[in-house]
Structure formats: C-alpha cells, structure tokens
Structure 1
Amino acid sequence: MNDAIVKTTKLSWNSQRDIIKEDEYIMGSNDSDIFSPAFPSNKIFIGIMVKPDAIVVREDLYSGPGHEVGIWASVPMSCVIELKVQFDAVRDFKDDGDQIVNVYVKPSNKCSTRVIDDYKETITVLVIDVTTGRCTSRGDPHYNSYDGRNFDNYLAGDFVLHRSQNRSFEVHTRTWKCWDASCNCGVVVRENDDIVGVTRCHGRWGKAAPKVINFSYGKFADGISISIDHSGRRFVIYTPSGSRVVAKTSKWGMDIQLTVPGDDFGGNCRSLWSV
C-alpha cells in the first residue's frame, strides 16, 4: 500500500479497539484513495500437454524405432491420464507421395473440470513416402527391370533375380530349355530363415505340375504366406517385409513378378534387376 492514512480515531479510557469496515475502504474503488502496486500473476496453461506436437515417419524398415508422443494434463483432471502413443508408418506399396495426418487429442465428456466445447490438441504427423520397385521375368524370358530397362536371357541355369545388401532377402530362379531358348521353371524366395519356392523343374518340360516346397526348418515365421488362386496356376508368396513374388504358371514354365520396398534401392541390391 501507499503511505495514506486510512482512518484516525481516538480511543477513550474504556475503549480498546476500533473497526475499519471493509465496505468503506475498498482498495482502488472510487470512494477510496488506497491503492496497492499491481503485480502480474504467473501465466499457467490449463489443458492437455502434447510433446512433441509434430513428428516425421518413413515408410521403410530402417527409419528407427517408432516415435513416442507424451500426453498428459497440465492440472489434475479426472478425465485425462498420462500416457504415451507410438507412431509408425506402414508400408503401403503405393507411390502416392508424402502425406500429412493430423491426430487430435481431446478429453472425454465426463470431466471433473469444465472443458471448453470442441477443445482439442493436434499432433501433426508427416509420412514420407518410399518408392516401390516392381520388375518382371516373362516368357523365354524377357526381363523388365526396376528402372524400366528391357533385356532377355536365353540361358538355362540358376540365377539370382534379387539379393538385398542391407537385409536378409533374396529371390532365385531356375530356367530350363524350352523351344530354342529358355523359360522359368521355378522360383525360390528367402527372407531371414524362411525359404519357400514354387517349382515345376522336378519333371519333364511341359508335363510337371507346379508345387510349393518349404525349404525351411519347421514352420514359417509370422508374415510368410502363400496363396493359390482357384485355377491352381497363380501363386503369390508374401513376406514380413511386404515383398511379394507372383508366379503365374503355364505348360511351358512360369512368368514371375517381384515387388520390393524402396529399402533395396540406391545400390542396396545385387541381381539381374539391379538398379
């Protein structure tokens, strides 16, 4: 307060107290010249805390562990608890460009503290798209590489179609003589310790029926699967990394299509289809 005299009173011999009435001396009112200095209070955010509020994830295997986001209330609220959320990008094998996804965090309707209508905090997630590679080996056989080059291979034998340099994944094929050239008669896929193949190389050309062979020891790991269409001629091998090998069989042999993630690009693979 300032040094102003609020009230002067004289006490008699039998009076030991006097009263200052609050409604007569309200600080800063029009009827009073009593003022106190102004002191601003510390600002405090009341709501949901989100850190970090923006993250970047990639559609590949080597972007590191998932990104954790912490969410908690800045003041005690019965409707919000402290938790962590992990964000990972899922490889969709589509060349659809980078995507921005907004994730909203809001309290429930049952809160001990009154919450502004439609109150929410936002986490912005930028998903970096990763290129997908597709290549084919058709006919006797004609190859179309990841980067669009076309070439032929008329030799009979075993060939490495794809071998990743930074993960345990490779695809081999075997060709046999057909007509005056060669054709694919089998394909084998290995990812980690799982090895599976589709072949008709075990019989005579044009006579052997295609069959699936498990070269692994024991059961396949989670994520390895093989599908066969109703005709019994089209086989699809799926792997945990998302890589996919399609073998479409005919009497003379098979056409092969391979789809791999962008992890294997940039000098990270060695094969007939290397880029």
Structure 2
Amino acid sequence: DVRGESVESHFFAGIRLKPALTVLSEDAGLHELLVGATVPVPCPEGSFSSTHSCTLPLQISTKSQGEVKNALGPDLSLSSCVLVLSQAPCRDGLCGSGRTHFSAITDFVKDDNRTTQISIKPIISRSLLWNGYSPEPVQVVVRDVPSAHCYAFTDPHMITFDGRYYENYQIGTFVLYKSSFWPLEVHVRQWECGSLEHAASCACGVVVRDGGDAVALDMCNGVMGETQPQLTVRSRDPNRNRIRIAESYQGRKVTMTLASGAFVRADVSDWGMSLTLRAPGSDLNHTEGLCGTFDGQPDNDFHSAGGAMLGDLQAFISEWRSDVKKKWQNSQRCRLSNSSPVFLRLPPGSSLFDLLPSHLDSSEGHSQCTCQKTACSRHANVRLSGVIPALDVTAKHAASLEQSGSSLFRASRKRVPASSRRRHRGRTRHSVPNSPRQLQRHSSSYFFPEDHELAAQAETPPAWPTPSGLTRQRAEAQCRRAVAESEPASSCRGLLGEQTLRRAVAMCVSDLQLKDDKSWLRATIPLLENECERRLEEEEAGGWEEHQQAVDVLRCPDLCGGNGQCSETGCVSPPCGYRPTLMKILFWVFLACSCGFLVMEDI
C-alpha cells in the first residue's frame, strides 16, 4: 500500500458573516452582508423528507458606538432583521446562505466616525449543534458626512450652502435648489415688498418636489399684508407621500421634510416668508440653483445651468429666473439632445407652482429597519431630530390632494395687478399665449405677472440717511438691541458665535435702510432660531446639558409668556381648575403648544 503524506487542514464549522470589516460614508447607499453556513442546515428531528422545510431562522441585531451612553441612536439600518438559512447542497464551502443589506443612517449629527457591530443573536433550535450558538459579529465603520444649509431671508439676503453671501432684489420665479442625486427640486416666488424708494423683493411662495410629490406654501396670489399662505399637497401617486409637513410656533414655522433628510422651512410673516433649506451630505457636489453648488468652495457658487462659473451676480440670478424671452430658445435647445434633458431657465408657466410634478418615481424605495423597532419603513435610514416643538400635519393636508389645497390660515385669494404695487421699476408686462402643457396644470395655478416682467437693472445703492432721517448709527443701535440682544441671541450666543450675530444685525440694518420701516427690526430673529437649532442638533453627540437655556428658549419662546410651564413638547398650560384672584376672571385659551389669557375686570 502506498500512503500519501498526511496534511493537517483546519475546517471551520458554523456560520460566517462577510465582510468582516466595512468602512463606508454616511451617504454610501446599500452594502451587502453575506451570511453562510459551512455545515448543513438541520431538518426537523427525524425528518429527511424534501417536503419538510430544513431552515434555520436567524435574528440579526446592531449595536452602534455611543448609541445608549450618548443617546445618539443607531448608526446603521438593515433591509431585514430576520434571515432564514435554507438547506442546500454544499458548494464552494457553503451549505446554505442568505443575504441582507445595510446602509448608514443619515443623522445630521457631528458624531465623527462611529463603529457598529452587526451580530446574530444566540440561535434557538432543537438541534444540540445549533442551540445557543452565536456567530462572530462583523464591524462597520461609518464616516461622518456633513450637511449644509442655505438661507433666503427677508428681502432676501442669500447665504448659499457653502456660505457665500449675496442679495437678490429680483422678482419672479426662481430655482432655489435642485439635486442631481435625488429627484428633488425647490422653486421660490418673489414679489416686491416694503420699499417705496428702492427695488426690494421678498419670497411669497415656495414649492418643494420630491419624486412625484410636491408641497406648495404660497401667498403670492394676493396682496401683501392681506393674504395668508395657502398650503397645497400635489401628488402623482396619492398612496405614497414622500414629504412630511410640520408646524411650529402656532403655524409661524412650517417645515417640509423630504425622504433624503433634506428640508425646507418657511418662517411666515405678513409680508411673505423667509426660507431655510437643508441639503443632506449625499447631495455634496450634486446641487445647483440660487443656493449654490455645495462643494465646499463658495467661489464657484455663481454658476450656469451647465455648470460654468459666472462672474456677474445678476447674470447668475437671471440664469435661475423664469424668463419669458428664453421660453422658445430653451425649448429648441432641449429638443436637440436625446439624452436626459438639460435644465435651463424656467419658461413662465412651467414651474412647480404651475404644473404637477412630471417625475413619477416607480420604485418603492428600500424598506430599512434599525432592529430596535418592530416596524421597518422607507424612512428608517434617516434619523431626524429637532429642538423646536413641531406638530406633524401631513395627514391633515394630504386629505385634500391637489384639487383644492388646504389652508394653514383663512386665505385671501384676490389678486391685483403687479403694476399697481410697483412704483419704482419701469417694466413692461408681457402677455403669454396658452402653453401646450396647459392640460398638466393643477387646479390652484394662477397667473403670476412678475414672471413676465424684465429683470431689474442695477440701480444706485441706497444712501444714508433714509428719507425719514434714520442714520446708519441709529439703525445699527436699533438692530443690536432688537437682534443681538434678543432672547434667542442671548441664550444661543455660545452656539451661534459672533460672526453669525454680526451677519444677522447687518441684515437688519440693510432692511431698515432699504425699507425705512421699523417693523422689519425683528425679521431676522428666525434666522437665529434656526441656526441655534441646527447647531444644537449637530452637537447632540456631546449632550445638551451645557446649552439647556438655549434648548428652553427654542422650545418655549419668551418662556411661555409667564403662562404655563416649559416642557420637551413646548409650553404646557395650567390646569383648567385654576382659580384667579377675586378682582379678576382669568380665562385660559389653549393654542397648540402655548396658551394666552384674557382678563376681564369685575364690574
């Protein structure tokens, strides 16, 4: 007999998870996890029939660094928390395998690089070989990716995603933010507001699109100071709503949050609205519009629709403005290419204010789970936090899709010609024939004359003193008292920093010079509120204990006005059984998160 040399070979018997180590970015999408058994999966005891199922159910769990200790929550989501291994012929070292997918959770927190462990809970089985067995876990390192914010405040002062500051005094409809990564787009309308001496504009409406859904918050079809915003939900698929709507501070703040984690917040006033936009880290290098390019380089924020840098501010603004003169030219240029359409200027009547979303996302999206919860959803890979108390009103407004539009307040729908409000811009209004796309219009569309006027020409900057005699020194002093010494500024000073406060004061001074009206003194305070909340959210990893005063001010402005107590959900009113003094009768009026009072003197 001839015997060969014996060779020792190690054989692993059990279940392996692969890859053992993964490093991914917060915006990296789905990754595959392979779970394979190197020995046959057991069949029910005493059964070897093919009619019986030979399977091994596995419960998957995740544990992220700082999840409990720092209350950061999970950093990873899975496509499923249960995986069933079925018996199969042994091949390539595997006798049964299954796959699941994981992705990083977008959380908008500065939590650096966190490690998450994916493991399988001890198996419960009648088989002595498998019962109590738990495979070796694998590690996933998630690299933090920063988000970015864009601001359009008052007349409006623009701050791009990369922090570049400029003024936009033009009126009309503009592309504010468009993503090439997500089916996401934001259009804004601006009308003239508040100035008799100089060109000044304010946002009067905004439309947010996510896939086949759109939400419009609009007060442009009325008279400034008389009309209230109308909120309309439009969708190509009423059964799937990708946009969530929340109200804060009794409707003064309206926030529309998208599936990607992006949001648009409108701070509503009688003259219009100021806007705050958030782009998730996944949109890095994927944005265009008046909010800039979001690539960390403010110098290239002035860009064309094709990505070319523009040196002139007005050329940049006009590039993203609805322009009747370019309507025919753009339609011809877009027809020249059979590839994906190139986004150019908006022809009047073709914005999201006028048409239903043209994009219908046929995909159902990836349902993800965090395994700490029983239900999985398409939103599990985005973790939203907030300091300002918010009431989710999505269902309320989605009940009347597209046709009528549900109102945040009692809305005035009367409209006067733009020329009657326009005293200092010599423009000619152009009439436009009916568009062939008229059939796609939604029922709440209307004629917006500002889209058909020529762009404003550069004019001489306003000078000091103003017509009322207000000097620069007095304006700066008034703005410092109203803005820099306001409750949000005082409570959030350590978070905001002096540069943010100086910028808010400078915006206030500019508003006073342009409009010569003291009612604009506090118009930039919502900017401080939103910035304070953003920085609190980013610093969540370190806890909020040292910023408790800022948290209280955002949750309960003016400390509930002395009427009630501050809680995590806002102001809590005193009990209805409260007895006032003999000299007064006090009626408590419950208004959402806060309360007011009416005092009547005894006769």
| CA deviation profile, 1:79-108 (whole Å, cap 9, x unmatched) | 674432221222223343332212223542
Name the CA shift for 1:237/1:230 in 2 (closer, same or farther; >3 Å): same
Q: Spell out the pairing of 1:1-275 with structure 2 (5 A cutoff).
A: 39=6, 41-60=8-27, 63=28, 66-76=30-40, 78=42, 81=85, 82-108=97-123, 110=125, 112-113=127-128, 120-180=135-195, 181-217=200-236, 219=238, 221-229=240-248, 231-266=250-285, 268-275=286-293
Amino acid at match of 1:187: V
Aligned sequence identity (%): 34
Separation (CA, whole Å) in 2 of partners of 1:69 and 1:218:
33
Separation (CA, whole Å) in 1 of partners of 2:227 and 2:239:
26
Name the CA shift for 1:238/1:71 in 2 (closer, same or farther; >3 Å): same
Separation (CA, whole Å) in 2 of partners of 1:255 and 1:120:
54
SS in 2 for 1:241: coil
Separation (CA, whole Å) in 2 of partners of 1:172 and 1:220:
24
The Cα of 1:218 is off from its aligned counterpart by 5.5
SS in 1 for 2:227: coil
SS in 2 for 1:88: strand
Separation (CA, whole Å) in 1 of partners of 2:263 and 2:190:
20
Answer yes or no: is the 8 Å Cα contact 1:95–1:132 preserved in 2.
no
| CA deviation profile, 1:53-94 (whole Å, cap 9, x unmatched) | 22234332xx45x22222233334646744322212222233
Name the CA shift for 1:222/1:179 in 2 (closer, same or farther; >3 Å): closer
Larger Rg over CA atoms: 1
Separation (CA, whole Å) in 1 of partners of 2:217 and 2:129:
64
Structure 1 gap ranges (5+): 2-36
Q: Give me the CA root mean square deviation.
A: 2.9
Answer yes or no: is the 8 Å Cα contact 1:100–1:125 preserved in 2.
yes
SS in 2 for 1:121: coil
In proportion to residue count, which structure has more strand? 1
Amino acid at match of 1:172: H
TM-score (normalizing by structure 2): 0.36
In proportion to residue count, which structure has more helix? 2
The Cα of 1:256 is off from its aligned counterpart by 0.6
SS in 1 for 2:282: helix
Number of equivalences: 237
The Cα of 1:230 is off from its aligned counterpart by 5.8
Point out the more displaced range, 90-99 or 70-79.
70-79
Name the CA shift for 1:212/1:232 in 2 (closer, same or farther; >3 Å): same
Answer yes or no: is the 8 Å Cα contact 1:163–1:271 preserved in 2.
yes
Separation (CA, whole Å) in 2 of partners of 1:204 and 1:220:
35
The Cα of 1:264 is off from its aligned counterpart by 2.7
Separation (CA, whole Å) in 2 of partners of 1:157 and 1:252:
16
Separation (CA, whole Å) in 2 of partners of 1:138 and 1:171:
16
Separation (CA, whole Å) in 2 of partners of 1:249 and 1:242:
22
| CA deviation profile, 1:155-185 (whole Å, cap 9, x unmatched) | 2222211122343221111111111222111
TM-score (normalizing by structure 1): 0.74
Answer yes or no: is the 8 Å Cα contact 1:185–1:254 preserved in 2.
yes
Name the CA shift for 1:167/1:43 in 2 (closer, same or farther; >3 Å): closer
Point out the more displaced range, 133-142 or 99-108.
99-108
Separation (CA, whole Å) in 2 of partners of 1:193 and 1:121:
43
Alignment partner, residue 10 of structure 1? none
Separation (CA, whole Å) in 2 of partners of 1:192 and 1:116:
47
Separation (CA, whole Å) in 2 of partners of 1:265 and 1:43:
47
Name the CA shift for 1:68/1:233 in 2 (closer, same or farther; >3 Å): same
SS in 2 for 1:263: helix
Name the CA shift for 1:125/1:111 in 2 (closer, same or farther; >3 Å): farther
The Cα of 1:136 is off from its aligned counterpart by 1.1
The Cα of 1:247 is off from its aligned counterpart by 0.7
Amino acid at match of 2:11: I
SS in 2 for 1:102: strand
